[in-house]
Structure 1
Amino acid sequence: MSASDTTAPDAMMADIGRGIEWGQSGERERARGLFAELWERIGPDGDALHRCALAHSMADVQDDVREELAWDLRALEAADLITDERARQAGLASPVAAFYPSLHLNLAEAYRKLGDLDRARDHLRRGRAAAGELGDDGYGKMIKDGLSRLADRLAAGPPADVIGWIA
């Protein structure tokens, strides 16, 4: 999800961005705390764009892969409710369709870690199918490269430290 140069993100997206920065700088617990506060403010039926961005980001700072998966699933569910117009209003330059490669990549990786290789492969397939929506920029390259690396890991079979899928 890339921000537009001409439209400032709304306040919630700015707060989510702050949490992303904390998570990327190693302050995962601080990011989780902020994201938990923001999730309470948004609520389960709040703005779908906010829910998607927050859940997608919260998944990245989880220590338990099952929690990571739960947040990734919330992000995907919310993404299905976002319109391109809503994304533009929040200052995002990409169409909603460009969110899906990353969402599916994260889901595929979580399922792979859990040893559910069929679901991992399904989300990899869905991420690759949506990858044409990505821009020809650094973000698009990062996600496409991530999908390729995940395909290689899946071809190698289950990870040595499979947690095991619990239905």
Structure 2
Amino acid sequence: MNDDVSIRMNNEDSLAPPASLFAPRPDKKGPKTISILLIMGSVLMLLVGWGDIQNSMAEDFPDADLDAILGNYQNQDINITEEEYQEYHDDVRDDGAYSVRGYSLMVGGALVLSGGFLLFRLNMLGVKLSLAGSIIGLLGGFGGTWMMVQVSEKMLPEEVTKITELMSYLCGV
């Protein structure tokens, strides 16, 4: 090779600089950790969605759930009878709020679940599916809960409506 084209300086006899001790590598643990969190969150979305779908098909609100809800309200000195809450359930069911929230959470949860598994395999499609599922779940969940708040304003005490409204905001965040 010609001395005029060398990358070394004239009269430099030193060795080439050593290679980096820590070569940059793509991170594989981070996306896999995120995917595990996505899978666990999607299971929660699917369970809540399934519960809302069951409520949308039920004639009466389940007694076990009703006792827990009414007991919680009565501990806070809010008086609601079983008949009032059953009437609220009927109006929410007829309004379609359970269906909107349930089906959107089921579709969103399925997308997040499949996206989580794809992301675990380091497939970029998993990120897009998880994001789409999260947006669908957020919009449908918030919309369904907003519909429930509109019904509860007409039928239930103000405290219950406020609690439902605040929970919808907290779950939306």
Structures share fold, TM-score greater than 0.5: no
Q: Which has the higher contact order (CA 8 A, sep 6+)?
A: 2
- Structure with bigger gyration radius: 2
